[in-house]
Structure 1
């Protein structure tokens, strides 16, 4: 929940000027607040940068105050949407069942969902990481088309806590996630204190296809350095 429309436009102008040529297969997606999506969509028209939203409701319309539908998102050029982010699960009561409904709604509208899974510090400390991740995936992905999907592993204990998930451990868990999927080439990202000073080590890991960036994406030069990794 950062950046007004004006701030988003200023961010975009600076960010785009910092981008370097990258391989064609490298996707760049900005998941902006709902109020900024329209102005950013206009600025990103015919750009190499794609637009994503931070959530979606499962209904086409209805008495769901504060929610947003797939129709509303696709009308303004959104192509991706984050589903099941840890903050949605932690603060707003998201369950695996509602996450599944949101995933299905995204795909009905031709959006590519970015499914977030991850464990808390307590769950990790009690040795539940593998079971938690596998349980989330089994419930979240019921009837979901894995040909149109991105998965992000975000260890909740490594987000804004000062604790760091070692690159090799992130790689191990992402390998576990891949083993649970029916489609082997689903892009799997790592998210959790991704910064300019660790992006190269993260992306050197063989199982990690990309990153889901939080706080480091708010500053144009910082985020551009991450996108421009070699």
Structure 2
């Protein structure tokens, strides 16, 4: 059975004090404990800057939301070494982190991430029991050139070499819709995600949509049969707004 995963990606936002303020407000906007039984199949995940990981892990138990987890935004493929500025899977695991975003379009665009390094990061995360969220998606130029399918299929073929598809999440993020306010039509997102699913060996992999997801379009997005959740950027920074996304049903 495919699990619903609603994930926030804070990117490079929120200091520790700002993160604590968010979590002091966020739980009050979530559905009540009685309602949580109805969403036992839903995982709520917020991927934060490295500086917030440890402090938020200490806050989580007091919140009492069993399906709420903190995730990281990247992980290196080596367990240790001369890799200034990088963080390893054992370092994340020591803090109890079980989810990590890998291959986000901003990492590929601004920091030289390639399909080869994405593949290495995926395998490193899985080797330590951390569930990776693999991001794939096309640019505006590729979409206009009718290369959406061929580009995404090439990403999947390279990224998933020797990767365990029983422990992963995929996020389809059309690059042209990230942070632009230009959301991919829900029916089109559903179509592409269906094509992605057809390229996977495990049909039960959770596949999210990411790209200008907001409180006012979450219901339409999540009504699509192939979409198993969302990866939310800017809208995850506001506790009430993100809670509305989490509470979509």
**Fold agreement, TM-score > 0.5:** yes
SS at match of 1:29: strand
1:189 pairs with 2:208: yes
The match for 1:208 is 227
Question: Counterparts of 1:3 and 1:186 in 2: how far apart (Å)?
Answer: 31
Q: CA shift at 1:191, angstroms?
A: 0.2
1:42 pairs with 2:53: no
Pairing 1:1-230 to 2, within 5 Å after superposition: 1-20=12-31, 21-22=35-36, 23-45=39-61, 47-48=65-66, 49-230=68-249
The match for 2:8 is none
Q: CA shift at 1:16, angstroms?
A: 1.3
The 4+ residue runs of structure 1 with deviation greater than 6 A are: none
Question: Counterparts of 2:134 and 2:117 in 1: how far apart (Å)?
Answer: 12
Q: CA shift at 1:53, angstroms?
A: 0.2
Q: CA shift at 1:13, angstroms?
A: 1.3
State TM-score, norm by structure 1.
0.98
Question: Counterparts of 2:65 and 2:97 in 1: how far apart (Å)?
Answer: 13
Q: Which runs of 5+ in 1 are unaligned?
A: none
What RMSD over aligned residues (CA atoms) do the two structures have, in Å?
0.8
CA deviations on 1:78-113 (whole Å, 9 max, x unpaired) are 110000000000000000000000000000110000
